Amino acid sequence: MCGRYAITLAPEAMAQMFDAAPANDLPPVPNFNVCPTVQVATVRSADGVRSLAPMRWGFVPHWYKTLSDGPLLINARAETLAEKPAFRAAARARRCLIPASGYYEWTKDADGKRLPWYIQPADETALVFAAIWQDWEVDGAQLRTCAIVTTQAQGAMAKIHHRMPVILRPEDWPLWLGETGHGAARLMQPAPEGRLRWHRVASEVNSNRASGPQLIRLL
């Protein structure tokens, strides 16, 4: 799963990386504790033109009458993405990318205490998560929402958590965004061994109100 992440890339750097037109209302960066329900930077493509714009992290199916009408859908499982009523239309036609610098997962010690880990690219480049999006509207108000696609973790990563976000390489972005035809399902694989590294961080990040670069420092 992916329930918290960090982003330090400036909007200009993200726009250049994705060759995307940036919106004027992108969320502020750096943010070392991006939490569900906040606005996050996303990349989508329409007619081959990419845009970098904010969406609410927390996918809201069209049948929800309120934002809290059902579970908070921050992740979508790759294995059932094409089958779940909430996600299947988005899986076909509304796929997007979410850039990140790293993300957090938790293990537990013998006493049940939650121990946070910060997971980042081994080569210190950016992470790009596969995601899906959905417009939700009620009483004339419209909200664009998204969820991060996750898959089964493998190898050493599985010792931290059994799930992980689907992480896409630059050569995968056009296919995921629907720019180069069909077959995006084959991209929903765990990151290869050695692609990521991780270290323990202080329990301060256990609070969704915590902020600052100290959250990602080696404990």
Percent of the chain with pLDDT over 90: 95
Mean pLDDT estimate for the chain: 96
Q: What is the mean pLDDT of residues 45-68?
A: 95
Please report whether residue 169 resides in a domain: yes
CATH of the domain at 82: 3.90.1680.10
Residue 218's pLDDT band, with cuts at 50, 70 and 90, is: very high
pLDDT in tens, 132-149: 999 999 778 789 999 999
Query: Measured between alpha carbons, how far is 144 from 165 in angstroms, rounded to an integer?
Result: 21
214 located within any domain: no
* 26 found inside a domain: yes
Residue 202, pLDDT score? 97
Distance CA 137, CA 69 (A): 13
pLDDT at residue 181, as a whole number: 87
pLDDT digits (tens, 9 = 90+) for 15-43: 999 999 999 999 999 999 999 999 999 99
110 in a domain, yes or no? no
**Is 17 among the domain residues?**
yes
Q: Is the pLDDT of residue 200 over 90?
A: yes
Contacts of 74 (CB under 8 A, 6+ apart): 2, 3, 36, 57, 58, 59, 147, 148
Look at residue 134 and tell me if it is in a domain: yes
Closest CA to 74 of 46, 104, 108: 104
Residue 212, in any domain of the structure: no
Number of structural domains, the chain?
1
- Where residue 131 falls among pLDDT bands split at 50, 70, 90? very high
> What band does 194 get if pLDDT is binned at 50, 70 and 90?
very high
Instruction: Give the residue-averaged pLDDT of 178-186.
Output: 95
* Predicted local confidence at residue 140, as pLDDT: 80
Residue 57's nearest CA partner among 126, 144, 151 is 144
pLDDT in tens, 70-116: 999 999 999 999 999 999 999 999 999 999 999 999 999 999 999 99
